[in-house]
């Protein structure tokens, strides 16, 4: 890895490329022997994280390096140079536009691009190609939040900031598992003084640490917040002055909410009326209330309405734009907000402008654009349907993996396979989407890129270069400008540095703005390159009136609607579009796990991030498990009307009966049929176009596995194994997954009939004549070692996967020298242990043992074992273990009764309650 000179001695500051928290990261370069090693730490000065990083951010250093990277452009599977690839792309784009019109081509982009990449792509498509067929994975993520804000506030502008998390007295997390998905913000909430209420159908790491958890029925959020609005009105808790002077449409919204009595709401949400009342009272009484909401609200066919029912309650109480109060939609991706600023979605123009005549004209004049798009383009789901029908003939996919993440993922994959021209820009060589590409373009990755991102609180931060590009990788904005230039628009895309693009973006934000558009960073209209390079994190708007940026918006009660008043929206709650039925009797919910990022192309490279969970785990209530004959740990299969997915059953009483949860992270490159989005349907919100990922009706059954095989092999042999897997898919192979480890891979196979592991090994190694074998039989399993000068293959086979040894520790053997007696490799292997604390490598049995020995708080466990002392992401799980163990250990019924009725805030609090109950 070539490290830039300026880093040779010191540190550099950049931004984490994962979630929307946007943590500042300090890069440290150390010389170890002759090589330089990069380590990352939290940037103490960055106002998002003040030095903290979560487990994913902490492991960023391990995701760097050449391994697995896409190093060169490819055309129809053959490596080629950039010129060859780009002239093919340009010719085909030009031909299609000429023969079939501009709407025959499309860009599908991502909230993980930098603002500068995004800006030029949007400019090229909407101003020069003349189509608005440019959409992004933010459609799957933020589009209902955007639509909700625009309807209510007249602008896509987040009113709140992170400081509010510390200032609030009540935080309501709705459809957010922030403890895992925005970990540093969750830590900031916990450091604050607010009571925490979680609204989520299932128990999560977040609800574990909450004061109150409302486990509502799937998709019933709009009923809940209509009920709240009605309660506020009935109990005289409205801010009449605010409603009268700063809003409109209140009467209709209230009329729609009046049907939602406490009893009716409790019934619809499936929550006891007392619990609901407790929440309503808290909300009514607490002035500094912050609502913090995410995908449990957005990913719904009525997501925009749900957003508005939440915003309604804030408008009705005047709690918006105030310190510690407001409706805070939290962005998921590092630059989802930047994408919104440049108009990266098909239904908006650049710099918060719309497809209305005056805006189109303004942007046309500013860009000097010859072919302005005059109408919105296709939103993601429609875009891929147009690829399927052949209406779109060329699509450029950049920094997203739609073959995994789109609803009806298999249908999307098929559509891409059939599409005449699919261009994929990625930094990783093998992804599900890259497998469908005609042209593959290597993109620079984190550490190589240079530009800006905007986090969830509107804060613009710099991502800075600290290593040279890998292979022939180029910046995404360069690839787009190259296409623009080849299409004849060299002059308007003649950017030589991201600062040039940022400057133009800033100019457009201020162009004929005069306070009419929320997004305004006109203070940077003439920013010099060195000022750009040293730009400090700042929250927009940043203009002459707000030169230091703006923490909060709308504090003055003025909004960006035509009248300047905020809109109440009358909402009639709708249930999910697909409903459970005798064929598909269970609700499938999906989302994120703690240690992985999306389709794992990057986090999957840091081995330790797979310790927490290495296979897609399906969370099932024990009652459902009994009903469907499923034991803990068995492989199961889910079917929906759209598709199929496999995973391992985890029995979890925090999951309500009738509801399952599956992670979104696994793809075909890592595991067979483990893509949860293959199950999701194409039902979308009518306003935002966001798909209904969170409520999918499915059926569940166990896979009839008769035999299990683990194979651990160095990299070259893994290729043979791949080939074997491809040809045996159809036979008795029920499921496989692989774990990338140091120097090789571990494969886990499940089969419908016993398979002789030794025979499989011999087949794989047949080209290697010098192989010697060692074998051990135990009661339930066979173990083989194939070796020559080194270990070539380790095989473990059993008819009961629980008896397989700890495979994680076995991976280390690939790095060891051969022993005098190689059979020793096969003996005395401890059983598998789940790692709870990834940073400090502390396992669940270790923690349980310590609890049994009397260690009784998260802090004390940290002192004893180190768990939870680094990034802190595992604390909710430690708390849960503590609670379960302490509950198990409790003899006293009275104590159990206290636990039933009282809210437990933390393990310490729990202990205190225990002590009180015991002494009573
Ligand atoms: N570790 C990790 N963190 C991430 C990411 C990642 O991949 N990994 N991705 C980032 C991205 S892009 C995003 S968008 C965010 C997403 O962040 P979150 O929205 O917090 O994450 P999810 O796990 O998708 O879903 C949140 C919760 O919604 C709940 N939910 C499901 N249905 C309903 C419902 O009907 N009502 C309510 N109230 N809740 C419901 C789920 O049970 C789940 O616990 O995370 C970001 N952070
Ligand atoms: N069932 C279900 N499906 C979901 C969700 C859900 O909750 N449930 N959530 C949805 C949401 S909120 C989201 S955000 C999506 C996320 O889904 P995707 O966006 O499809 O997932 P990623 O793995 O983040 O894909 C990013 C790709 O870009 C590559 N990449 C990274 N950096 C760069 C770069 O700088 N340039 C280029 N050119 N490539 C780069 C990565 O290697 C990776 O292949 O999934 C959605 N799908
Ligand atoms: S919370 Fe974690 S993933 Fe999100 S930006 Fe911070 S370090 Fe990165
Ligand atoms: Mo997202």
| Same domain (yes/no): 380, 479 | yes
Q: Minimum-distance ligand to the CA of 140?
A: 2
Q: Count other Cβ atoms within 10 Å, centred on residue 361.
A: 11
Q: Is residue 700 part of a domain?
A: no
In the reported structure, the alpha carbon of residue 112 is separated from the centroid of ligand 2 by a whole-number distance in angstroms of: 8
Q: Is residue 339 part of a domain?
A: no
Residues with CB under 5 A from ligand 4 (ion): 141, 332
Asked whether the predicted pLDDT for residue 821 surpasses 80, the reply is no
Q: Is residue 343 part of a domain?
A: no
Distance CA(588)–CA(679), nearest Å, equals: 9
- As a whole number of angstroms, the longest Cα–Cα distance in the chain is 87
| Pick from 277, 908, 274, 404: nearest CA to 665 | 404
| Same domain (yes/no): 119, 157 | no
In the reported structure, the alpha carbon of residue 136 is separated from the centroid of ligand 2 by a whole-number distance in angstroms of: 10
Asked whether the predicted pLDDT for residue 252 surpasses 90, the reply is yes
Distance CA(293)–CA(312), nearest Å, equals: 14
Asked whether the predicted pLDDT for residue 9 surpasses 90, the reply is no
Res. 894 pLDDT band, cuts 50 70 90: low
| Same domain (yes/no): 801, 845 | no
| Same domain (yes/no): 169, 293 | yes
| Same domain (yes/no): 171, 54 | no
Identify whether the C-beta of residue 121 lies closer than 8 Å to the C-beta of residue 526.
no
| Pick from 150, 167, 159: nearest CA to 557 | 159
Residue 29 has a pLDDT of: 82
Boundary-marking domain end, from 330, 348, 380: 330
* Closest C-alpha to ligand 1, atom 40: 296
Q: Is residue 572 part of a domain?
A: no
Mean pLDDT of the chain: 92
Q: 725 is in which domain, residue-wise?
A: 707-826
In the reported structure, the alpha carbon of residue 139 is separated from the centroid of ligand 4 by a whole-number distance in angstroms of: 9
Question: What is the side-by-side strand order in the sheet with 105-109?
Answer: 78-79, 74-75, 439-442, 421-426, 394-398, 105-109, 134-136
| Same domain (yes/no): 676, 817 | no
Kindly state if the Cβ of 42 falls inside 6 Å of ligand 3: no
Distance CA(465)–CA(668), nearest Å, equals: 32
Kindly state if the Cβ of 18 falls inside 6 Å of ligand 3: yes
* Closest C-alpha to ligand 2, atom 15: 405
Kindly state if the Cβ of 56 falls inside 6 Å of ligand 3: yes
CATH code of the domain containing 635: 2.40.40.20
Q: Minimum-distance ligand to the CA of 58?
A: 3
Q: pLDDT of 192-241, one tens digit each?
A: 999 999 999 999 999 999 999 999 999 999 999 999 999 999 999 999 99
Distance CA(862)–CA(857), nearest Å, equals: 9
CATH code of the domain containing 859: 1.10.10.1100
| Same domain (yes/no): 389, 407 | yes
Of 136-145, 149-158, 680-689, 758-767, minimum mean pLDDT range: 758-767
Residue 704 has a pLDDT of: 93
Query: Can you spell out the DSSP letters for 796-834?
Result: EEESSGGGS--HHHHGGGGGSPPPSSGGGGGS--PPP--
Q: pLDDT of 515-545, one tens digit each?
A: 999 999 999 999 999 999 999 999 999 999 9
Q: Is residue 295 part of a domain?
A: yes
Kindly state if the Cβ of 17 falls inside 6 Å of ligand 3: no
Q: Which atom of ligand 2 lies closest to the CA of 592?
A: 7
Q: Ligand 2 pocket: which of 110, 201, 334, 428 to mutate (most atoms <8 Å of CB)?
A: 110
Boundary-marking domain end, from 826, 850, 866: 826
| Same domain (yes/no): 741, 762 | yes
Q: pLDDT of 838-861, one tens digit each?
A: 888 898 889 999 998 989 899 999
| Same domain (yes/no): 848, 822 | no
Q: pLDDT of 706-737, one tens digit each?
A: 999 999 888 888 888 888 887 776 678 999 99
CATH code of the domain containing 57: 3.30.200.210
Kindly state if the Cβ of 426 falls inside 6 Å of ligand 2: yes
Q: Is residue 562 part of a domain?
A: no
Kindly state if the Cβ of 603 falls inside 6 Å of ligand 2: no
Cα-atom radius of gyration of the chain, to the nearest Å?
28
Res. 4 pLDDT band, cuts 50 70 90: very low
| Cis bond upstream, residue 541 (ω within 30) | yes
Distance CA(227)–CA(240), nearest Å, equals: 19
What number of H helices and E strands is found in the chain? Answer: 32, 34
* Closest C-alpha to ligand 2, atom 24: 598
Mean pLDDT of 618-626: 97
Mean pLDDT of 437-455: 97
CATH code of the domain containing 780: 3.40.1310
Q: Is residue 162 part of a domain?
A: yes
Q: pLDDT of 624-671, one tens digit each?
A: 999 999 999 999 999 999 999 999 999 999 999 999 999 999 999 999
Res. 809 pLDDT band, cuts 50 70 90: confident
Of 161-165, 352-356, 784-788, minimum mean pLDDT range: 784-788
| Same domain (yes/no): 636, 488 | no
Q: What are phi and psi of 903, to 5 degrees?
A: -80, 130
| Same domain (yes/no): 225, 250 | yes
Q: Is residue 51 part of a domain?
A: yes
Asked whether the predicted pLDDT for residue 1 surpasses 50, the reply is no
> How many structural domains does the chain have?
6
- CA distances 637 to 274, 646, 648, 694, Å, are 38, 4, 9, 18
Kindly state if the Cβ of 214 falls inside 6 Å of ligand 3: no
CATH code of the domain containing 86: 3.40.50.740
Query: Can you spell out the DSSP letters for 660-719?
Result: EEEES---TTTBTT--GGGT----B-TTT--B--S-EEEEEEE----EEEEEEEEHHHHH
| Same domain (yes/no): 748, 630 | no
Bridge pairing between strands 635-639 and 707-714: unpaired
């Amino acid at each position: 890895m070539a490290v830039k000179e300026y880093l040779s001695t010191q540190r550099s500051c950049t931004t984490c490329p994962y979630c929307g928290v946007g943590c500042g990261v300090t890069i440290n370069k150390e010389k170890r022997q002759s090589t330089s090693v990069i380590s990352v730490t939290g940037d103490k000065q960055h106002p998002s994280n003040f030095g903290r990083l979560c487990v994913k951010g902490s492991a960023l250093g391990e995701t760097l390096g050449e391994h697995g990277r896409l190093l060169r452009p490819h055309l129809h599977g053959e490596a080629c140079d950039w010129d060859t690839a780009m002239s093919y792309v340009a010719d085909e784009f030009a031909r299609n536009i000429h023969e079939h019109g501009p709407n025959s081509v499309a860009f599908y982009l991502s909230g993980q691009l930098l603002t500068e990449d995004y800006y030029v792509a949007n400019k090229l498509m909407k101003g020069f190609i003349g189509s608005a067929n440019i959409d992004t994975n933010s459609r799957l993520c933020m589009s209902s939040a955007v639509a909700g804000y625009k309807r209510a506030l007249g602008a896509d502008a987040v009113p709140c900031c992170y400081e509010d998390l510390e200032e609030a007295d009540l935080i309501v997390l709705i459809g957010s598992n922030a403890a895992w998905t925005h970990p540093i913000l969750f830590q900031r909430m916990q450091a604050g003084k607010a009571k925490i209420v979680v609204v989520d159908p299932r128990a999560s790491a977040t609800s574990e640490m909450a004061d109150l958890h409302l486990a509502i029925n799937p998709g019933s959020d709009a009923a809940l917040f209509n009920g709240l609005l009605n309660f506020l009105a009935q109990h005289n808790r409205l801010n009449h002055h605010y409603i009268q002077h700063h809003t409109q449409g209140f009467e209709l919204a209230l009329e729609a909410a009046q049907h939602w009595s406490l009893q009716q709401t409790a019934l619809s949400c499936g929550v006891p009326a007392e619990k609901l009342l407790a929440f309503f009272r808290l909300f009514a009484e607490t002035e500094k209330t912050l609502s913090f909401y995410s995908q449990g609200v957005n990913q719904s066919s009525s997501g925009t309405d749900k957003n508005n029912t939440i915003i309604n309650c804030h408008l009705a109480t005047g709690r918006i734009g105030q310190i510690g109060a407001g409706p805070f939609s939290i962005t998921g991706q590092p630059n989802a907000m930047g994408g919104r600023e440049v108009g990266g979605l098909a239904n908006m123009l650049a710099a918060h402008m719309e497809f209305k005549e005056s805006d189109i004209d303004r942007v046309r004049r500013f860009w000097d654009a010859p072919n302005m798009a005059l109408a919105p383009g296709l939103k993601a789901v429609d875009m891929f349907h147009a690829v399927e029908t052949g209406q779109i003939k060329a699509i450029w996919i950049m920094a997203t993996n739609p073959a995994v993440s789109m609803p009806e993922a298999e249908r999307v994959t098929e559509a891409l396979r059939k599409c005449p021209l699919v261009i994929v820009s990625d930094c990783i060589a093998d992804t599900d989407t890259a497998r469908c590409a005609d042209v593959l373009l290597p993109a620079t990755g984190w550490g190589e890129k240079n530009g800006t991102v905007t986090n969830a609180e509107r804060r613009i931060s710099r991502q800075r270069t600290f290593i040279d590009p890998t292979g022939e990788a180029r910046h995404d904005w360069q690839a787009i400008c190259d296409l623009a230039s080849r299409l004849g628009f060299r002059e308007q895309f003649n950017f030589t540095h991201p600062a040039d693009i940022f400057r133009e973006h800033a100019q457009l934000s201020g162009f004929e703005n005069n306070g009419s558009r929320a997004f305004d960073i006109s203070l940077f209209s003439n920013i010099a390159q060195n000022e750009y390079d040293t730009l400090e994190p700042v929250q927009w708007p940043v203009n002459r009136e707000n030169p230091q940026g703006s923490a909060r918006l709308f504090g003055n009660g003025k909004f960006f609607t035509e009248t300047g008043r905020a809109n109440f929206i009358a909402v009639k709650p709708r249930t999910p579009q697909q409903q459970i039925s005798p064929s598909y009797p269970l609700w499938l919910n999906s989302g994120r796990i703690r240690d992985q990022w999306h389709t794992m192309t990057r986090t999957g490279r840091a081995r330790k991030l797979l310790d927490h969970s290495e296979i897609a785990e399906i969370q099932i209530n024990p009652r459902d498990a009994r009903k469907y004959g499923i034991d803990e740990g068995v492989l199961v299969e889910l079917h929906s009307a759209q598709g199929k997915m496999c995973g391992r059953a985890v029995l979890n009483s925090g999951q309500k009966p009738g509801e399952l949860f599956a992670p979104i992270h696994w793809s075909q490159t890592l595991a067979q049929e483990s893509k949860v989005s293959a199950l999701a349907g194409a039902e979308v919100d009518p306003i935002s176009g966001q798909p209904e990922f969170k409520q999918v009706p499915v059926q569940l059954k166990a896979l009839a596995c008769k035999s299990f095989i683990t194979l651990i092999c160095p990299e070259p042999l893994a290729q043979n194994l791949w080939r074997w897997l491809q040809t045996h898919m159809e036979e008795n192979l029920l499921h496989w997954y692989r774990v990338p480890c140091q120097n090789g891979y571990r494969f886990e196979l499940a089969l419908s009939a016993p398979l002789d592991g030794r025979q499989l090994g011999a087949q794989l190694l047949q080209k290697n004549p010098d192989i010697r074998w060692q074998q051990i039989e135990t009661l339930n399993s066979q173990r083989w070692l194939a070796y020559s000068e080194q270990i070539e293959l380790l095989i473990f086979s059993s008819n009961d996967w629980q008896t397989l040894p700890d495979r994680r520790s076995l991976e280390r053997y690939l790095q060891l020298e051969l022993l005098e007696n190689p059979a020793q490799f096969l003996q005395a292997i401890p059983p598998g242990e789940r790692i709870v604390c990834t940073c400090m490598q502390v396992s669940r049995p270790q923690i349980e043992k310590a609890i049994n020995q009397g260690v009784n708080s998260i802090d004390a466990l940290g002192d004893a074992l180190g768990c939870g002392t680094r990034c802190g992401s595992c604390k909710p799980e430690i708390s849960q273990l503590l609670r379960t163990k302490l509950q198990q250990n409790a003899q006293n019924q009275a104590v159990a009764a206290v636990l039933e009725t009282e809210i437990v805030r933390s393990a310490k609090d729990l202990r205190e309650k225990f002590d009180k109950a015991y002494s009573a």
